[in-house]
């Protein structure tokens, strides 16, 4: 396909432009008219074809940067629209709970919610009394109609939210893969892509965050295999690692499951970080999350220590060999950092009957110790 497109770049450009315009128009129409929603399967297929066509045309047209910018904007629009739908859906679900079930013992946390609940109770009582006193069902029918409208609205928004999330997922995958495999992408555009994908870690959708982590890992691994110097790109990686590390430390309790995706990225990027102080800091952070309230965060943090070991991050073996938490003098500015004794932390958690991730700890211990002793021999 790439050879065909190189022979007919004009036709290829026209086709890509047409597909992008179709997706842009479809998403715009969804925002204006939620009842007439394009087929998500068709839109997803178009997104996949579009990504393949852009990659095949890479290096054969000066229109590629413009197409990539439009694809990036398309992903952004999908995510923004999805967030708007998510907020409206939360609000309507909350209303459905307060308005339509007076017997549920729900927490009222604001004056607005209290007033809404009281208004519903009053209207419901009036509808019941109307039936008892006059046999009329006007108010009761109105109440049932309102329930039905809200149910239909919630179903419609839920489906639309699924569409936007699906398109964003496929778009992000293609966007990241293009930058990972492209041999004609400038360092500046690589940095822009890296920043854009990093910002997606704030997305509420777990799938979006996970595909972003995968894209970032693939991007750095493939692009840094090239012998071409990318000093600014490497600096960007270091900067993002430090920013995310700082954020996880400062916002630990409010990030919830987002932490799992952030530490997954930190572990995968650690292979590109030469600063020993930063790598040890990542290991300490991962170990601290072995006791996180969220089982997904605990499991991920254990697996990420093993991943760092598999990537031959020497500091992991050093932490296994440590006799106790101790300060290690580093040559850089006489800095000091605690080198954690991983075996002591593992032993403590394995002996805790309530700790549920013992299997992951055993896997980490077996892999790292076997690898360490095989290297020593």
pLDDT in tens for each of the 377 residues of the chain? 667 766 777 888 999 999 999 999 888 655 544 455 678 888 999 999 999 899 888 878 889 999 999 999 999 999 999 998 888 877 776 666 555 555 445 555 556 656 666 776 777 777 778 777 787 787 777 767 776 676 667 777 888 889 999 999 999 999 999 999 998 899 999 999 999 999 999 999 999 999 999 999 999 999 998 767 789 999 999 999 999 999 999 999 899 999 999 999 999 999 999 999 999 999 999 999 999 999 999 999 999 999 999 999 999 998 988 776 565 544 544 456 678 899 999 999 999 999 999 999 999 988 887 765 454 44
For residues 236 and 191, the answer to whether their CB atoms sit within 8 Å is yes
CA gap 98, 116 in Å, rounded: 7
Q: For the residues of 185-224, what is the DSSP string, one character each?
A: --HHHHHHHHHHHHHGGG-S-HHHHHHHHHHHHHHHHHHT
CA gap 239, 195 in Å, rounded: 11
CA gap 40, 12 in Å, rounded: 24
For residues 233 and 195, the answer to whether their CB atoms sit within 8 Å is no
What the block records as the tokens of 130 is 């109307």
Residue 32 is predicted with a pLDDT of 46
CA gap 281, 313 in Å, rounded: 13
For residues 298 and 291, the answer to whether their CB atoms sit within 8 Å is yes
Residue 103 is predicted with a pLDDT of 47
Kindly report the number of other CB atoms within 10 A of residue 88's CB atom.
15
Task: Tell me how far CA of residue 305 lies from CA of 270, 286, 369, in angstroms.
Answer: 11, 7, 13
* Cross-strand pairs, 339: 326
What the block records as the tokens of 147 is 């329930």
Q: Which residue has the tokens 């070991």?
A: 309
Of the candidates 374, 277, 254, which has an alpha carbon nearest to the alpha carbon of residue 331? Answer: 277
Residue 117 is predicted with a pLDDT of 62
Secondary-structure percent of the chain, ordered helix, strand, coil, rounded to 5: 80, 0, 20
Residue 336 is predicted with a pLDDT of 62
Of the candidates 222, 244, 247, 248, which has an alpha carbon nearest to the alpha carbon of residue 233? Answer: 222
């Amino acid at each position: 396909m790439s050879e065909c497109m190189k022979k007919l770049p004009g036709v290829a450009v026209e086709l890509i432009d047409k597909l992008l315009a179709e997706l842009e128009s479809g998403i715009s129409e969804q925002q204006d008219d939620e009842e007439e929603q394009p087929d998500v399967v068709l839109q997803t297929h178009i997104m996949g074809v579009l990504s393949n066509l852009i990659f095949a045309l890479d290096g054969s047209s000066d229109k590629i940067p413009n197409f990539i910018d439009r694809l990036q904007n398309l992903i952004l629009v999908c995510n923004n629209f999805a967030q708007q739908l998510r907020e409206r859906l939360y609000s309507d679900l909350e209303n459905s709970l307060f308005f339509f079930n007076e017997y549920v013992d729900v927490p009222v946390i604001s004056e607005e919610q209290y007033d809404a609940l009281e208004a519903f109770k009053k209207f419901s009582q009036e509808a019941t009394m109307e039936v008892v006193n006059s046999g009329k069902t006007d108010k009761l029918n109105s109440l049932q109609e309102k329930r039905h409208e809200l149910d239909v609205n919630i179903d419609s928004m839920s489906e639309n939210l699924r569409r936007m999330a699906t398109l964003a997922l496929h778009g992000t995958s293609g966007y990241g893969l293009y930058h990972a495999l492209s041999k004609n992408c400038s360092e500046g555009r690589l940095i822009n892509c890296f920043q854009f994908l990093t910002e997606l870690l704030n997305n509420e959708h777990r799938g979006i965050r996970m595909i972003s982590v995968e894209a970032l890992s693939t991007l750095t691994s493939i692009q840094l295999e090239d012998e071409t110097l990318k000093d600014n790109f490497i600096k960007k990686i270091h900067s993002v690692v430090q920013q995310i590390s700082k954020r996880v430390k400062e916002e630990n309790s409010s990030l919830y499951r987002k932490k799992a995706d952030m530490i997954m990225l930190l572990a995968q990027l650690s292979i590109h970080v030469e600063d020993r102080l930063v790598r040890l800091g990542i290991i300490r952070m991962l170990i601290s999350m072995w006791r996180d309230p969220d089982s997904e965060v605990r499991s991920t943090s254990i697996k990420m220590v093993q991943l760092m070991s598999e990537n031959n991050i020497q500091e992991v073996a050093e932490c296994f060999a440590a006799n106790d938490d101790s300060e290690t003098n580093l040559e850089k500015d006489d800095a000091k950092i605690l080198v954690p004794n991983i075996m002591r932390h593992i032993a403590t958690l394995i002996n805790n009957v309530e700790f549920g991730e013992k299997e992951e700890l055993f896997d980490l211990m077996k892999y790292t110790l076997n690898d360490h002793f095989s290297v020593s021999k």
